[in-house]
Amino acid sequence: MVRRIGVPVLAILAFLALWELVVWWNGWPNYVMASPSDLPAAYARFWNLFLVGAWQTLWRTVAGLALAVVFGTILGMVMGFSRIARDALYPLLVGFNAIPKATLVPVLALLFIGQHDFNTVLMAFLISFFPIAVSVSIGLSTLEPEYRDILRALGASRFTIFRKIALPKTLPEFFGALKVAVTLAFIGTNLVEIVSPHGRGLGALFQSGATNGDYPLMFAVLIALAALGIALYYAVVALERVFAGWAERDIT
């Protein structure tokens, strides 16, 4: 427990110290490059905007991620159990994922004019479902056929085979993809908040800092986003230990 908490905290402190040293060594003023020592003043000055913006960014990110989990899992199951579906859908998914998501923001803004929350949740979903679908598909498609044949010979239904064998086997890949999807969902949320500003979320606060040349505020927003991402990542880690802790190997 001490190692799991202490090592990440020490790594973060080392990063902040190195950041401070680089800014000091180069003699950069805070209107060129803010340092960690400049950030507390920005948090103290705009604490209410940080609280409101963080909540707006967080709930829309979690909503988009939840949709991605449901849709990605269902799509992965379809591709995992059907080779025809896998061959048909993989090129479409890869092609869609190759499209820069920043180019979709104005498209969504025109399609759903004024629906800011919906557009933000939709972008978080669109950018994060791909790794979940692929991981579930790979996990199910690589299921050993011997297990399936034995359970079918014993009269097990497809649902029983999925629940007893396929689902536990897929959980490690699923949670690995979910850790990636967490960061992607935050990227999707902030793309909409910055590219299509509507005065909500941490992305809008970052854009305000950029417009006014307030570099400490901009970097304070970036650190706040990083903190939200880390918190959500460790929430996924906690769920993984509950549902797939048996797959964890402690390598020292």
User: What does residue 23 show for φ and ψ, rounded to 5 degrees?
Assistant: -65, -45
pTM exceeding the 0.95 threshold for the entire prediction: no
Tokens found for residue 17: 């110290």
Confidence at residue 191, expressed as pLDDT on a 0 to 100 scale: 87
Top pLDDT among 127 and 213 is at 127
The confidence band for 197, taking pLDDT boundaries of 50, 70 and 90, is low
* d(C-alpha 228, C-alpha 13), whole Å: 17
- Mean pLDDT for the stretch of residues 93-108: 84
| Six token digits for residue 50 | 């940080």
Tell me: pLDDT of 209 over 70.
yes
Helix segments in 82-165, DSSP class H: 83-98, 104-111, 116-141, 145-153, 158-161
**144-187 per-position pLDDT tens digit:** 676 667 767 767 666 677 777 777 778 888 888 899 999 999 98
Q: Give the integer Cα–Cα distance in Å for 77 and 133.
A: 8
Question: CA separation (Å) from 106 to 12, 19, 37, 89, 210?
Answer: 36, 35, 37, 26, 20
Q: Is the pLDDT score of 252 beyond 60?
A: no
Q: What is the pLDDT of residues 41-86, one digit of tens each?
A: 889 998 999 999 999 999 999 999 999 999 998 898 888 878 888 8
In this predicted structure, the answer to whether residue 251 has a pLDDT above a threshold of 50 is no
